[in-house]
Structure 1
Amino acid sequence: MIEAKNIHKFYGELEVLKGVDLSIKKGEVIAIVGPSGAGKTTLLQILGTLDQPSKSENSELQINSIDLLKLKDKTLSKFRNKHIGFIFQFHQLLPEFNAIENVCIPAFIANKSKKEAEKRAIELLQFLGLSHRLHHKPNELSGGEQQRVAVARALVNNPDVIFADEPSGNLDSTSAENLHKLFFELREKFNQTFVIVTHNQELADMADRKLEMKDGKIIN
C-alpha cells in the first residue's frame, strides 16, 4: 500500500534522512520509534505528503500504486485530502468551532455537502464515545476528548492511511491507553492503515511492526 525507496532529506548541508526504504501493507499498524533527532517526524511528514524529499536518483514514494513524487501541488492536495488523515501530538482543533464543526472541516474541503459532512461527523463522534459532546468547543473538552475529536476529523473522509505523530504524547496515562486501544478498534472496523511515530513503548509494542530509526535510517 505504501512503498518508499531511497528517501533523502537535506536541510542545507544537514542530511536528516539517508536513503530510507520501507514497505507497508494495507491494514497494518506500524510504529516508528527511535531517539529524538533520528528523522522520525521528517519521514512521517514526507510519507504523508506534507513535505517533499530532497531530489535523489531512484527515489520513489507510492500510496495505492500512485507515484506521489510526480503529482503537481493541486493534485497532491486533493490526494492528501481524500486518502490521508493526520493526528498530531497537539490536537490542532480550531477554538471557535464545536466538535462537529471541527470534524467537518476536511469534508468541506472535499466539497461534501453540509448534510453529508455533519452526518458522518456525528457518526464518528458517537462511535468515539462523544455523543454528549457534539456541540462543545475545545476549551470545554478534556485532553482525551479533544484528541478523540481530532481522530474523528482524521477519519471523516474515510482515508486509506492515518499518519500520527506522538498522538498520545500530550495525554495522561489513562487517556493515552484508551487512545492506543482505539487505533486498533478503528483498524478492525475500517481496515485503515496506521503509521505512528511514538516514544510510548507500550503503543510501539502493540503495533504489528516496529521500525526503529537512528541517524536518519531505519535500522531494523
Structure 2
Amino acid sequence: MIEAVNIQKYYDDLQVLKGVDLHIKKGEIVSIVGASGAGKTTLLQILGTLDAPSTTPTTSLKINGENVLQLKDKALSKFRNLNLGFIFQFHQLLPEFTALENVCIPAFIAHKNKSETEQEATRLLEYLGLGHRTHHKPNELSGGEQQRVAVARALINKPAIIFADEPSGNLDTVSAENLHQLFFDLRDEFGQTFVIVTHNEDFANMADRKLVMVDGLISN
C-alpha cells in the first residue's frame, strides 16, 4: 500500500529526515510517535504527498502501486484527491458552510455528481452519529462533532489511505476515545489504511503497529 525508501528532508542545512524506509500494508493502522522535532509531521506530509522529499538517486515513494514522485503537479493533485484522505488536529472546516457542504467539498473538486455526493455525505454523517447536524455550521457544533465532520470529509471520496496528524489533540478525553475507536470501526467496515501521528500513548499502543521516530529516523 505504501512503500517508502530512503526518505530524506532538508530545510537549508537542517536535515529533518535522515533516510526513512517504511512499508505499510493495506488495512493496517499504523501510529507514529516521538518527541517534538523528531520528524513525525514532516514524514506524514511527505507520505501524504503534501510535501516532497529531498531527492536522492535511491529515494522512492509508491502508494497503491503508483510512483507518486514521478507525477506532475496536476496529476499528483488528482491522485491525492481521489486516493488519500486527511484529518488534522484543527479540523479546518470552512466556517461559512454547513457540515454537509464541508463534507462534499473534496468530491466536488473531483467533479462528482452533486446529488450522489450529497447522498453519500448524508450517509457518512449519519454513520458518524451526525445525521441531525447536517445543516449546522461549524460554530454550532462541539469540538468532537467538528472532528467527526472532518472525518466524513476525509472519507467522501472513498480514499485508500487516511493520514491523520494529532487528530484527537484538541479533544476532551471522551471525544478522543470515541474518535480513536471510530478509526478501528472504519477500518473494519471500509478496509481503509490509517497512518496516524499522535502523542496519545494509549491510542498509539492500540494500533496494529507503533513506529517510534527519533532524530529523523524510525527507531524500531
Is the pair's TM-score, using the shorter chain for normalization, greater than 0.5?
A: yes
Question: Does residue 60 of the first structure (1) align with residue 46 of the second (2)?
Answer: no
- Which residue number in structure 1 is paired with residue 211 of structure 2? 211
- Which residue number in structure 1 is paired with residue 149 of structure 2? 149
- Which residue number in structure 1 is paired with residue 108 of structure 2? 108
Deviations 1:115-160 (A, max 9, x none): 0110110000000000110100000000000000000000000000
d(CA) in 2 for partners of 1:96 and 1:192? Answer: 30
SS in 2 for 1:121: helix
- Which residue number in structure 2 is paired with residue 121 of structure 1? 121
CA drift of 1:56 comes to: 1.0
- Which residue number in structure 1 is paired with residue 192 of structure 2? 192
Deviations 1:16-70 (A, max 9, x none): 0000000000000000000000000000000000000001120010011110110
d(CA) in 2 for partners of 1:66 and 1:92? Answer: 28
Where does the alignment leave 5 or more consecutive residues of structure 1 unmatched? none
- Which residue number in structure 1 is paired with residue 159 of structure 2? 159
TM-score (norm 2): 1.00
- Which residue number in structure 2 is paired with residue 181 of structure 1? 181
d(CA) in 2 for partners of 1:4 and 1:144? Answer: 33
SS in 1 for 2:32: strand
CA drift of 1:113 comes to: 1.5
d(CA) in 2 for partners of 1:65 and 1:5? Answer: 14
SS in 1 for 2:41: helix
- Which residue number in structure 1 is paired with residue 32 of structure 2? 32
Count of residues paired in the alignment:
220
The amino acid of 1:107's aligned partner reads A
- Which residue number in structure 2 is paired with residue 16 of structure 1? 16
Shift >2 Å, 4+ stretches? none
The amino acid of 2:44's aligned partner reads L
- Which residue number in structure 2 is paired with residue 99 of structure 1? 99
Percent identical pairs in the alignment equals 72
d(CA) in 2 for partners of 1:56 and 1:10? Answer: 11
Query: What RMSD, in angstroms, separates the aligned Cα atoms of the two structures?
Result: 0.4
Deviations 1:83-123 (A, max 9, x none): 00000000000000000000000000000111011011000
SS in 2 for 1:18: strand
CA drift of 1:5 comes to: 0.3
d(CA) in 2 for partners of 1:71 and 1:186? Answer: 29
The amino acid of 1:173's aligned partner reads T
